[in-house]
Structure 1
Amino acid sequence: MRPTVLIAEDHSVVRMGTMVMLEQMYPNILVSEAASFDEVIEQLSQTKFDLIILDIHIPGGDNIKMIETIHLRQPGIRILIFSSYDERLFAINYIQAGAMGYVQKDASNIIVKIAIAKVLNDEQYISADLQKNMVNRWLKTGNKPKKGLMVLSAREREIMNLLIKGHRTNEIKTILNIQASTISTHKERIFTKLNVENVIELEQLVRAEMKKGN
């Protein structure tokens, strides 16, 4: 097997580490790199890839909409999300959008290798912890209406995650490449949907929801 893989990540250290890992797994692998989503599009127009390892916040990307954009250019490509964001908040949305797996950047090398191997073998990768979390939530809610954090859209969850990490509007604007007014609108919707009045209450609610899934 000689897979072709595109690493879409703006941090050179992460790209290098991922490349070394891939070469250990597949000595004859062909690896390409992209540091922005514009470079991803350019690479997709030049080479047919078996797999793209994609960071959610690669510069120029549009978060979950990137999945559709990538598949429009290469319908058969496998997508593995490689993110620093908590899988319990984001993985399901990206997998439902068409990604075949989601692995956190703080996962062990063994876990990352398992995720890569599974996705390259046309298998979906979901961590054991996330599977447990999903089962627990299903047992508790069944087919009931969405509750807690599940009422938020993918974009609202991203902004929520940045807010509870202490990022201010100007920082979020730069990270997500969106207008400050858009952030304010999403923030207001988040507070309304979750019935909280400030970021402190939001953080407390998120912690409580995470405990429910464990």
Structure 2
Amino acid sequence: MKLQEKLAVLIADDHAVIRLGLRLIISDMHQTYVHHEAKTYQEVYHTLEQNLIHLLIIDIGMPGGDHISAIESIKLNHPELKIIIFSSYPEHIYAARYLKAGADAYLHKDAGEEIIKKEIFNVLHSPRGLQAKPADISNHSDTLSILSDRELDVANLLSNGLGNLEIANMLDLKMTTVSTYKKRIFEKLGVANLPELIKLLNIDTR
């Protein structure tokens, strides 16, 4: 499965091993492609402004960005850019929102090499990626649609065992703001405690 000539790819992830792995996978598809790397959203913005990039593969959990809003902004400023979200965030919770924001595909980091190659090829050769579309996402998207983008981020982090202080540091928020988000999340979803939230989000904690 080979890619087009003169392909320029920006791999954005704050973990060097992930960037290396993706670089090797793409090299196997296209030995002469031009690759760029970024560790933060600010580096992504700078690279996109300074270079012609055809494909952005981005981890939405990187520092320095407002996640969904960042993707919307990138797509607005670079409408021809193809975007693949490559994340450890649960696909059934997040994919529909990011596809709506302008991403062409959403891949979980557990995806195997052949799936990654197939999705890269599909995104570059079709109007929309074939691996993940809103219609493929479970009813969780409807259940969680009442949450704002930031509330969804907080809910996901709470369900993964992070405390208010950790979430505040990760999302660059005040602890009081995180507490307010937590209260809103519980009220909107009709849950009384963290175990009920985890059950609702269908996150396996075993």
Identical columns (%): 39
Once residues 158 and 129 of structure 2 are traced to their aligned partners in structure 1, the CA distance between those partners, rounded to angstroms, is: 28
Which runs of structure 2 are paired with 1:62-81 in the superposition (5 Å)?
A: 62-81=66-85
Equivalent residue for 1:150, pick from 145, 151, 158: 145
Residue 159 of structure 2 is aligned to residue 164 of structure 1? yes
Once residues 142 and 137 of structure 2 are traced to their aligned partners in structure 1, the CA distance between those partners, rounded to angstroms, is: 15
Residue 35 of structure 2 is aligned to residue 35 of structure 1? no
State the Cα deviation string for residues 122-177 of structure 1 (Å, max 9, x = none).
3422537975444xx49xxxxxxx95323222222221111111100111122222
Q: Tell me how far 1:206 sits from its aligned partner.
A: 2.3
Tell me the residue number matched to 1:197. Answer: 192
Tell me the residue number matched to 2:174. Answer: 179
Three-state SS of the structure 2 residue aligned to 1:151 is: coil
Once residues 19 and 181 of structure 2 are traced to their aligned partners in structure 1, the CA distance between those partners, rounded to angstroms, is: 32
- Whether contact under 8 Å (2:96, 2:133) holds in the other structure is no
Once residues 55 and 7 of structure 1 are traced to their aligned partners in structure 2, the CA distance between those partners, rounded to angstroms, is: 9
Give the partner amino acid of 1:5.
Answer: V
Gaps of 5+ in 1: 139-145
State the Cα deviation string for residues 48-82 of structure 1 (Å, max 9, x = none).
10010011111111100111221243221111100
Q: CA RMSD in A?
A: 2.3
- Whether contact under 8 Å (2:106, 2:132) holds in the other structure is no
State the Cα deviation string for residues 93-129 of structure 1 (Å, max 9, x = none).
0100111110000111111111111111134225379
Q: Tell me how far 1:3 sits from its aligned partner.
A: 1.0
Structure 1, 49-58 or 179-188: larger mean CA deviation? 179-188
Give the partner amino acid of 1:124.
Answer: R
Give the partner amino acid of 1:48.
Answer: L
TM-score, with length taken from structure 1:
0.85
Which structure: greater helix fraction?
1
Residue 142 of structure 2 is aligned to residue 118 of structure 1? no
Q: Tell me how far 1:39 sits from its aligned partner.
A: 0.8
Once residues 133 and 68 of structure 1 are traced to their aligned partners in structure 2, the CA distance between those partners, rounded to angstroms, is: 20
Residues 133/76 of structure 1: CA separation in 2 closer, same or farther (3 Å cut): closer
Once residues 71 and 148 of structure 1 are traced to their aligned partners in structure 2, the CA distance between those partners, rounded to angstroms, is: 26
Tell me the residue number matched to 2:87. Answer: 83
Structure 1, 16-25 or 173-182: larger mean CA deviation? 173-182
Residue 49 of structure 2 is aligned to residue 45 of structure 1? yes
Once residues 193 and 186 of structure 1 are traced to their aligned partners in structure 2, the CA distance between those partners, rounded to angstroms, is: 10
Give the partner amino acid of 2:187.
Answer: T
- Whether contact under 8 Å (2:123, 2:129) holds in the other structure is yes
Give the partner amino acid of 1:84.
Answer: S
Tell me the residue number matched to 1:61. Answer: 65
Residues 147/94 of structure 1: CA separation in 2 closer, same or farther (3 Å cut): closer
TM-score, with length taken from structure 2:
0.88
